Amino acid sequence: MSTVLRNVRLMPECGFGQGSVDVRIDGARIAEIAPQIALSSNDTVVEGRGDLLLPGFVNTHCHAAMTLFRGYGEDLPLSRWLNERIFPAEDRLTAESVYWGSMLAIAEMLRNGITSFSDMYFFCDSTARAVLESGIKANLSRSLVSFAPAINLAEDTRFAEAVALVKEFHGAGDGRIRVDMSLHAEYTNQPDYCAAVGAYTVKHGLGMQLHLSETEDEHNACIARHGKTPAAFFADLGVFDAPTTAAHCVWVTDEDIAIMAEKGVTAAHNPTSNLKLGSGVMPLRRLLDGGVNVTLGTDGAASNNTLDVLRELRLAAILHKGVNHRADITTAAEMLSMAARNGALAQGRGDCGKIEVGARADLILLDLSAPHNMPVYDLAATVAYSAEAHDVRMTMVDGRILYADGAYTSIDLERLRSEAGRVIAHYFD
């Protein structure tokens, strides 16, 4: 069986000009792209209507189950938000609540054209179940903290959970799940623990997720404690020797950027969360010019409050123009790369985030006929400055349509609403 997407438009860099093309998907991969594909009796045909076919968006920083806390803890700076609201709420988490919170997040992400996400949280096996059942992709990691010095990894229950996650789920779902390690942040970890976890990550060929220089206080406190920035702290301990995605990077210095570029560290830009929590604005242009791979993330729904990479794309596209008083400081094309291909590379998915024969069929269709998208003079600009998440007509992962025109194929939406509502209604009882 194969699927043929008929009469779709591609971005100019795909090499097919301005006209419409057909795209054939066999199994999980793109098999053919041509102006017109001859159909066989085994083909399932999806009419593209001249809409734009894009690689699926990749959400490179998320805490999926925090959908449970959407709207809880508003209008507080990060330290108070964490200590007064989020940490106490997380103490009440259960495997069941994380499962339904994760499934709620996945439904939202699929509706918004997100085909893969990077997640650091707790009860990760519950999130893994939701990923496997829904059909989406994810890089999952158990968030690790260490407040006491000289913790023995062999006796650390959090680390044991992270290792168990690797053994059970790394590569599961035909590679849809990848398991990373995760040091929450410098300010929640001891140096010896970071070095030990980093060494394990490198030895086993895994990726790393962490928070980096999210706030000015965090950044300066690290310098006061260790005489170096968070980026230098992790680099010196060998953590950056593993492929690392560092979320936020709001207060990184030029020296930090040089370290990140040298070590191949990805910076996950979370503009909505950073603005909402009053943390500041990532120095995006300096990171890009410094050779750092930059991606987009939503953070959790508790600090955003939506899981919508297209919204992050638009905000990032205009935010830095205003902050730097330069309309040309970013381009729409750069934003699209950050939203898809750069994110796929950060996740270690080199065959994703692009539309070409042989690539994984992680694809979305974007409605170009909506009044707010007309006329279309520049496709990248239309996506970056005009399009909305509700313009996503179809979301496909590994050649399987998971969402199309308001309906899910792998998620029972009514059951999800009922179960998530039940969990949320009694969460703080």
Q: Each residue of 101-128: pLDDT tens digit? A: 999 999 999 999 999 999 999 999 999 9
pTM: 0.97
What is each CA distance from 250 to 218, 275, 331, 358, in whole angstroms? 11, 10, 20, 37
Q: Count the alpha carbons within 13 Å of 366 in the hemisphere toward its beta carbon.
A: 28
The answer on pLDDT for 426 being more than 90 is no
DSSP 9: B
Does residue 403 share a domain with residue 261? no
Q: Is residue 418 part of a domain?
A: no
Does residue 73 share a domain with residue 46? no
CATH number of the domain within which 248 lies: 3.20.20.140
253-310 residue pLDDT tens: 999 999 999 999 999 999 999 999 999 999 999 999 999 999 999 999 999 999 999 9
CA dihedral 213, 216, 220, 222 (to 10 degrees): -30
Rounded Cα distance, 160 and 190, in Å:
17
Among 36-40, 77-81, 324-328, 357-361, the range scoring the smallest mean pLDDT is 77-81
> Buried (b) or exposed (e) across 26-59, using 16+ Cβ within 10 A?
eebebbebeeebeeeeebeebebeebbbbbbbbb
Does residue 180 share a domain with residue 256? yes
The answer on pLDDT for 334 being more than 90 is yes
CATH number of the domain within which 367 lies: 2.30.40.10
Q: Is residue 416 part of a domain?
A: no
Does residue 381 share a domain with residue 395? yes
Rounded Cα distance, 342 and 350, in Å:
10
Does residue 329 share a domain with residue 381? no
Rounded Cα distance, 270 and 60, in Å:
9
Does residue 399 share a domain with residue 262? no
CB 296 within 8 A of CB 316: yes
Q: Is residue 6 part of a domain?
A: yes
Q: Is residue 421 part of a domain?
A: no
Q: Which domain-ending residue is among 346, 366, 395?
A: 346
The answer on pLDDT for 56 being more than 80 is yes
Tally of structural domains, the chain: 2
Q: Is residue 423 part of a domain?
A: no
The helix or strand, by DSSP H or E, that contains position 51, with its residue range, turns out to be: none
Q: Which domain-ending residue is among 330, 346, 362?
A: 346
Rounded Cα distance, 286 and 107, in Å:
35
Q: Is residue 373 part of a domain?
A: yes
Closest CA to 217 of 279, 267, 302: 279
Does residue 388 share a domain with residue 290? no
Does residue 134 share a domain with residue 268? yes
Does residue 288 share a domain with residue 371? no
Does residue 99 share a domain with residue 130? yes
Q: Which domain-ending residue is among 346, 370, 400?
A: 346
Q: Is residue 417 part of a domain?
A: no
DSSP 338: H
- Find the mean pLDDT for residues 21-34: 98
Q: Compute the mean pLDDT over every residue in the chain, rounded to the nearest whole number.
A: 97
* Token pair for 226: 């260790």
161-174 residue pLDDT tens: 999 999 999 999 99
Does residue 162 share a domain with residue 288? yes
Does residue 266 share a domain with residue 176? yes
DSSP one-letter string for 100-145 = HHHHHHHHHHHHTTEEEEEEEESSHHHHHHHHHHH--EEEEEEEE-
pLDDT for res 428: 85
Q: To the nearest whole percent, how much of the chain has pLDDT over 90?
A: 94
Residue 151 — very low, low, confident or very high, per pLDDT cuts 50/70/90?
confident
Q: Is residue 413 part of a domain?
A: no
Domain range holding 19? 2-55+354-408
